[in-house]
């Protein structure tokens, strides 16, 4: 009887999972979506598009979920819906499974202050059935994916070598205000080819973290998405030249980490030139040469 009960429980669990997928597939596209000027974004391929996020209160999973940040970092372009669902679960809004091009999530992140947490809306956009673009409603939420630095006491012999850092000027990599592979400049390609050769010379390559930065001109949400798109293009370029895809990750921080301040009283051309150091792509490389 014990084995029969266990078999019945397993069958029931499988039936519930199947029913959940059927219910998701039967759902219509999300209602109650809202759009503002902050929701007009530039996608990874460079085109402008409207990005609409649903009302958080309309999520079927009320209050969202506490996402595994490591799993979320593994999300990237070219994944099918089953692969995305395996990492971060089914979408939290009634968007369906088949024939839809967007999945929306409501994720919670601990702040480290007792039980306090923040909620962030996240969107995956599919193209031809594969994940293509990723958006946060609040650009600051993207920083939740940045590796957190923790002080760990170790024996001296076990301390890892300090990471090697590289910085590339965005103005040399891309045409102004652009981010796609077709927008890369000859000098940018030359720099990335040289960087790829250096990284292929490592004895062991543990991780390559690519961070996109913009200046403060324009809308903050737009700048966040531009920084993400540029970092993703650099990631894809390096992977195409032999770097292990599993070791390379990319994210953007928009205009939030400037290295130079400039007066608003400057003429626009002069202001753009003054802010040039803030438009950059930084890489942190861990491994052994």
The confidence band for 161, taking pLDDT boundaries of 50, 70 and 90, is low
State yes or no: pLDDT of 215 exceeds 90: yes
**CA Rg value for the chain:** 21
Specify the higher pLDDT residue, 246 or 6. Answer: 246
pLDDT of residue 78: 87
Q: Which phi and psi (to 5°) does residue 207 adopt?
A: -160, 150
Instruction: List pLDDT tens digits, range 58-94.
Output: 998 888 899 888 889 888 888 899 999 889 989 999 8
Cross-strand bridge partners of residue 108: 66, 119
Residue 218 CA: distances (Å) to CA of 41, 46, 225, 275, 284: 12, 16, 12, 13, 27
Do 130 and 80 form a contact (C-beta atoms < 8 A)? yes
By residue count, the chain amounts to 289
Q: Is 75 helix (H, G, I), strand (E, B) or coil?
A: coil
pLDDT, mean of residues 125-133:
90
Do 250 and 234 form a contact (C-beta atoms < 8 A)? yes
Measured distance CA(224)–CA(178) in Å, rounded: 13
pLDDT of residue 20: 44
In 3D space, the residue among 279, 283, 260, 262 whose CA is nearest the CA of residue 214 turns out to be 279
Longest dimension (CA), the chain: 83
Helix (H) or strand (E) holding 106: strand 102-110
User: Judging by beta carbons within 10 Å of its beta carbon (0-12, 13-18, 19+), is residue 23 exposed, middle or buried?
Assistant: middle
CATH class of 161-288: alpha beta
Query: Which segments of the chain does DSSP mark as H helices, in order?
Result: 2-26, 69-73, 81-88, 170-173, 186-200, 220-240, 268-274
Domain segments of the chain as ranges: 25-145, 161-288
Tell me the average pLDDT of the chain: 79
Specify the higher pLDDT residue, 42 or 82. Answer: 82
Euclidean distance between the first and final Cα of the chain, in Å? 61
Specify the higher pLDDT residue, 269 or 39. Answer: 269
HSE on the CB side for 115, CA within 13 Å?
Answer: 0
pLDDT of residue 160: 53
Do 275 and 266 form a contact (C-beta atoms < 8 A)? no
pLDDT of residue 94: 82
The confidence band for 12, taking pLDDT boundaries of 50, 70 and 90, is very low
**Residues contacting 53, CB < 8 A, separation 6+:** 33, 34, 39, 104, 121, 123, 137
């Amino acid at each position: 009887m014990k084995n029969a009960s266990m078999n019945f429980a397993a069958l029931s669990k499988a039936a519930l999972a199947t029913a959940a997928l059927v219910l998701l597939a039967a759902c219509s596209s999300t209602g109650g979506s809202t759009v503002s000027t902050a929701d007009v974004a530039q996608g990874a391929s460079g085109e402008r598009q409207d990005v609409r996020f649903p009302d958080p209160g309309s999520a079927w999973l009320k209050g969202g979920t506490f996402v595994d940040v490591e799993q979320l970092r593994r999300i990237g372009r070219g994944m099918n819906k089953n692969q995305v669902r395996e990492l971060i679960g089914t979408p939290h809004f009634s968007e369906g499974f088949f024939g839809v091009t967007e999945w929306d999530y409501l994720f919670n992140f601990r702040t480290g202050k007792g039980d306090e947490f923040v909620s962030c809306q996240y969107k995956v956009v599919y193209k031809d059935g594969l994940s293509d673009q990723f958006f946060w409603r609040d650009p600051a939420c993207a920083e939740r994916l940045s590796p957190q630095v923790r002080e760990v006491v170790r024996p001296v012999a076990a301390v890892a070598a300090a990471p090697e850092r590289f910085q590339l000027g965005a103005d040399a990599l891309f045409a102004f205000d652009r981010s796609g592979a077709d927008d890369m400049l000859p000098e940018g390609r030359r720099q990335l080819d040289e960087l790829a050769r250096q990284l292929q010379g490592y004895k062991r390559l543990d991780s390559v973290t690519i961070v996109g930065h913009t200046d403060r001109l324009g809308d903050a949400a737009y700048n966040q998405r531009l920084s993400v798109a540029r970092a993703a293009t650099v990631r894809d370029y390096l992977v195409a030249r032999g770097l292990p895809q599993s070791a390379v990750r990319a994210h953007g921080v928009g205009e939030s980490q400037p290295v130079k301040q400039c007066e608003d009283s400057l003429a626009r051309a002069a202001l753009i030139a003054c802010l040039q150091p803030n438009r950059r792509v930084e890489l942190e490389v861990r491994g052994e040469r």
